[in-house]
């Protein structure tokens, strides 16, 4: 804590006065959005280690490619006619010994209209197997001495012994094996495997060694309790990282909610009862980790949450969801279903979103209002959130404007929604999205956002309405993106009367499996570990510096330098955060004289790095903040100087330890 030798220019002086409180700061500005993009869910946080558990992927012919073997022995060349057929795309088939057999992906699966993997030996001795190596066949991670629990849904006309195993990728090492007899129609066959070795990229095997035919309709494998977060079907290490990140709100949805088959009732029951669907991002998506699993995770984390539903859900189905989530009567079949799924108490549901990046026209408004009627009849206090889009143009006339990506030219649909909400006594917020990658992102959204809110109040002044930014979108996960997020959170703090929730997309990402432009995960993972990217640290720093009262700073923001100050209710703690997006150091003055004399403890957390900095499996903490604590008396004039580094976020907490 130092007194500056020279006075500060007005554009680099933060002047704080407890009497100049500028409103309340929402505590829901430090959130993340989760959706199944870059395998955030299926192949990511979901504890299911098998990718392709429903055998829905197109069949891969046996013997077309030697790489299809992936195991002991060789995939028998098709011209030999000893082993023929095909294996579901995320699996591989192999044969060993002198056998005649076949593989086939059949349509007669566990559920009507679903597929199953068939494998059979007609004669000879040896073994026939299929193997799975997890997400995109990248390899499964096993830890020696730890239990892995799974089950198959399988059938066999005559009794056949089935072996499940954990092996090295090439099958040269078998770490664990379990066997059981299968006979009759589809039944659940549980097993436990405890490997005697550790492997970061192994495989799971289903094998038969005798004549007969086996059909497998579903396969599941996950770590024991040691690897699950609070007993949920969630990777413990990933859940723990989300907990440590200190998030205040999570949103589930995004473009995945725009897929035609994305319907909440298909996400109920046991995962093997759900099947898969054609997703927005992937041809073969899984219902295995859906809205209910997300809500269970958020309840375990103790955080607020926003589940997102398709705007094409029927009003009746959404009414059933409210009964499922919030009902108390165990005789209600939807409450009974919730209880059978393991949740006795109603969910602490406060927010519910309809749609994502929609064209908010009168057709959407009609669908939304029908759903709202059904929801508010059960939970009139529930805040409904409209899945709106982007506004980069200042809205001067609510009835005539251009430039919105969804191609609307007026707020006629918004008016229809707000008028209906006023009539019903309900609260409606609108979710708009910002870009937050680099340069002046997301600054270019700030003025249009305030103009959009003013337009909403103009068309329906009596409406209980506001905004959310549930996606800060980017095509990177760099430190520059992190600083862009900090700019956005500063803006939301200053305008918490308008923006009630802010979330960064996307919460998670699997290392090495980016298959689109949304390379923006805050928490990265692979089969062996999990680590933060710079934007996750930024969220944590700003959350640690959160206080409920906004203070005026007197320092104007620019596109490259932003300051925000917040204060505790008792006025004994003040937190100042400064974002510097330039390649030059800045010296910023902080004037505290209005708080009076006394001993002050200052905790300074600094995060400075190059704009392109990211963390990798080899250097998972290569980029991270540092903190220091200084205690002393403030200068007599109450002014101190803070040097903020190039490309940095600096958060300073002042605590008056005595009057």
**Secondary structure of 223-289 as H, E, C letters:** ECHHHECCCCCEEHHHHHHHHHHCCCEEEECCHHHHCCCCCHHHHCCCHHHCCEECCCCCCCEECCC
Dihedral sign for Cα 502, 505, 506, 512, please: negative
| Contact status, residue 201 vs residue 141, Cβ threshold 8 Å | yes
Helix (H) or strand (E) holding 410: none
Percent of the chain past pLDDT 90, that is, above it, reads 85
Q: Looking at residue 1, what is its pLDDT?
A: 43
Arithmetic mean of pLDDT, 284-297: 96
Rounded Cα gap, residues 130 and 150, in angstroms: 16
335-349 pLDDT, tens per residue?
Answer: 999 999 999 999 999
The superfamily CATH assigns to domain 10-25+548-656 is Golgi alpha-mannosidase II (2.60.40.1180)
Q: Which three-class secondary structure state does DSSP give residue 47?
A: coil
- Helix (H) or strand (E) holding 21, with range, is strand 21-24
Average pLDDT over residues 149-153: 98
Residues in CB range of 637: below 8 A, 6 or more apart:
3, 593
pLDDT at 78 over 70: no
> Cα separation of 15 and 8, whole Å?
11
Q: Where do the CATH 2.60.40.1180 domains begin and end in the chain?
A: 10-25+548-656
Q: Is pLDDT of 639 > 90?
A: no
How does residue 7 score in pLDDT terms, banded at 50, 70 and 90? Answer: low
Residue (of 74, 72, 77, 50) closest to 61 by Cα position:
77
Which residue has better confidence, 270 or 659? 270
Q: CATH homologous superfamily for 59-225?
A: Galactose-binding domain-like (2.60.120.260)
Q: How high is the pLDDT of residue 634?
A: 65
Q: Is the whole-model pTM more than 0.85? A: yes
Q: Provide the β-strand partners of residue 601.
A: 631, 655
Mean pLDDT of 470-495: 97
Residue 476 pLDDT grade (very low, low, confident, very high; cuts 50, 70, 90): very high
Judged against a pLDDT cut of 50, whether residue 152 lies above it is answered with yes
- Give the confidence band of 479 by pLDDT, cuts at 50, 70, 90: very high
> How many alpha carbons lie under 13 Å from residue 276 in its C-beta half-sphere?
23
Structure tokens at 55: 């055998």
Q: What is the pLDDT of residues 89-145, one digit of tens each?
A: 999 999 999 999 999 999 998 888 899 999 999 999 999 999 999 999 999 999 999
pLDDT average, residue stretch 166-190? 97
Q: Rounded to whole angstroms, how far apart are CA atoms 632 and 142?
A: 52
pLDDT tens digits along 535-585: 999 999 999 999 999 999 999 899 999 999 999 999 999 999 999 999 999
Residues of the chain with CATH 3.20.20.80: 31-37+245-467+487-502
Torsion of CA 448, 451, 452, 457, to 10 degrees: 170
**pLDDT for residue 79 is more than 50:** no
CATH 2.60.120.260 domain residues, the chain: 59-225
> Tokens 């413990």 label which residue?
236
DSSP 510-546: ETT---SS----SEEE-SS-EEE-HHHHHHHHHHHT-
Buried b (16+ CB within 10 A) or exposed e, 313-346: bebebbbbbbbbbbbeeeeeebbebbeeeebeeb
Burial of 225 by CB count in 10 Å (0-12 exposed, 13-18 middle, 19+ buried)? Answer: exposed
Give the domain 31-37+245-467+487-502 fold: TIM Barrel (3.20.20)
pLDDT category, 77, cuts 50, 70, 90?
very low
C-alpha distances in Å from residue 22, one per residue of 53, 547, 548: 54, 13, 11
What integer best gives the mean pLDDT of the chain? 93
Q: Measuring CA to CA, which residue among 561, 631, 535 is closest to residue 30? A: 535
- Which phi and psi angles does 552 have, rounded to 5°? -70, 140
Q: How confident is the model at residue 73 (pLDDT cuts 50, 70, 90)?
A: very low
Inform me whether the pLDDT recorded for 382 exceeds 90.
yes
Residue 622 to residue 265: CA distance in whole angstroms? 43
Q: Reading across the β-sheet that carries 21-24, which strands appear in turn? A: 21-24, 549-551, 561-567, 573-580, 648-656, 599-608, 626-633
DSSP state of 595: G
DSSP string, 370-403: HHHHHHHHH-TTPEEEEE-----S--S-TTS---
CB-CB contact of 378 with 319 (8 Å) = yes
pLDDT score recorded for residue 599: 75
Q: Give the β-pairing of 530-532 and 523-525.
A: antiparallel
Please state which of the ranges 179-183, 276-280, 335-339, 410-414 shows the lowest mean pLDDT: 276-280
Band (404; pLDDT cuts 50, 70, 90): confident
Q: Does the structure show a pLDDT above 50 at 227?
A: yes
How far the first Cα of the chain sits from its last, in Å, is 19
Is residue 433 over pLDDT 80?
yes
Instruction: Give the least confident one: 67-81, 182-196, 531-545.
Output: 67-81
pLDDT at site 9: 63
């Amino acid at each position: 804590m130092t007194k500056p030798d020279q006075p500060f220019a007005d554009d680099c002086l933060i002047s704080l006065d407890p009497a100049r409180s500028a409103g309340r700061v929402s505590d829901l500005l430090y959130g993340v959005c989760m959706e199944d993009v870059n395998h955030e869910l299926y192949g990511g946080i979901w504890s299911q280690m098998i990718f392709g558990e429903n055998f829905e992927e197109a069949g891969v012919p046996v013997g077309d490619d030697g790489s299809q073997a992936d195991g002991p022995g060789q995939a028998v060349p098709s011209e030999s006619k000893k082993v023929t057929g095909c294996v579901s795309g995320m699996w591989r088939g192999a044969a060993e010994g002198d056998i005649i057999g076949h593989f086939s992906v059949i349509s007669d699966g566990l559920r009507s209209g679903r597929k199953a993997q068939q494998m059979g030996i007609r004669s000879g001795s040896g073994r026939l197997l299929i193997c799975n190596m997890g997400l995109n066949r990248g390899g499964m991670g096993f830890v020696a001495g730890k239990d892995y629990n799974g089950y198959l849904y399988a059938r066999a006309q005559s009794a056949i012994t089935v072996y499940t195993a954990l092996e090295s990728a090439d099958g040269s090492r078998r770490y664990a094996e379990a066997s059981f007899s299968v006979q009759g129609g589809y039944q659940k066959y549980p097993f436990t495997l405890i490997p005697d070795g550790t492997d970061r990229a192994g495989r799971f095997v289903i094998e038969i060694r005798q004549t007969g035919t086996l059909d497998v309709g579903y396969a599941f494998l996950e770590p024991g309790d040691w690897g699950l977060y609070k007993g949920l079907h969630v990777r413990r290490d990933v859940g723990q990282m989300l907990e440590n990140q200190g998030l205040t709100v999570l949103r589930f949805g995004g473009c995945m909610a725009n897929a035609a088959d994305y319907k909440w009732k298909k996400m109920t029951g046991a995962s093997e009862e759900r099947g898969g669907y054609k997703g927005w991002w992937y041809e073969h998506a899984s219902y295995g980790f859906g809205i209910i699993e997300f809500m269970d995770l958020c309840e375990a984390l103790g955080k607020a949450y926003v589940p997102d539903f398709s705007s094409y859900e029927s009003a009746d189905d959404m009414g059933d969801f409210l009964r499922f989530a919030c009902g108390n009567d165990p005789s209600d079949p939807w409450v009974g279903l919730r209880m059978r799924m393991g949740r006795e108490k109603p969910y602490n549901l406060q927010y519910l979103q309809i749609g994502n990046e929609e064209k908010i026209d009168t057709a959407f408004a009609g669908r939304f209002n029908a759903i709202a009627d059904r929801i508010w009849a059960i939970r009139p206090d529930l805040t409904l959130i409209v899945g709106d889009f982007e506004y980069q143009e200042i809205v001067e006339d609510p009835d005539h404007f251009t430039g919105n990506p969804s191609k609307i030219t007026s707020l006629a649909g918004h008016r229809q929604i707000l008028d209906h909400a006023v009539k019903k006594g309900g609260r409606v917020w609108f979710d708009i999205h910002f870009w937050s990658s680099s340069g002046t992102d997301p600054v270019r959204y700030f003025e249009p956002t305030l103009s959009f809110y003013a337009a909403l109040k103009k068309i329906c002044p009596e409406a209980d309405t506001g905004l959310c930014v549930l996606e800060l979108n980017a095509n990177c996960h760099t430190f520059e993106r992190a600083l862009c997020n900090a700019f956005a959170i500063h803006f939301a703090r200053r305008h918490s009367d308008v923006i009630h929730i802010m979330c960064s997309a996307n919460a998670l990402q699997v290392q090495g499996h980016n298959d689109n432009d949304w390379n923006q995960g805050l928490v990265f993972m692979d089969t062996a570990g999990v680590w933060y990217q710079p934007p996750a640290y930024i969220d944590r720093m700003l959350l640690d510096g959160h206080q409920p009262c906004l203070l005026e700073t007197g320092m104007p923001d620019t596109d490259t330098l932003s300051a925000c100050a917040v204060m505790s209710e008792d006025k004994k703690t003040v937190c100042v955060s400064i974002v510097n997006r330039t390649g030059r150091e800045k010296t910023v003055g902080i004037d505290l004289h209005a708080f009076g004399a006394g001993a002050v403890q200052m905790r300074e957390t600094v995060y400075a790095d190059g704009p392109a900095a990211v963390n990798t499996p080899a250097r998972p903490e290569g980029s991270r903040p540092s903190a220091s604590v200084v205690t002393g008396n403030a200068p007599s004039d109450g002014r101190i100087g803070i040097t903020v580094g190039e490309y940095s976020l600096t958060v300073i907490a002042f605590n008056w330890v005595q009057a």
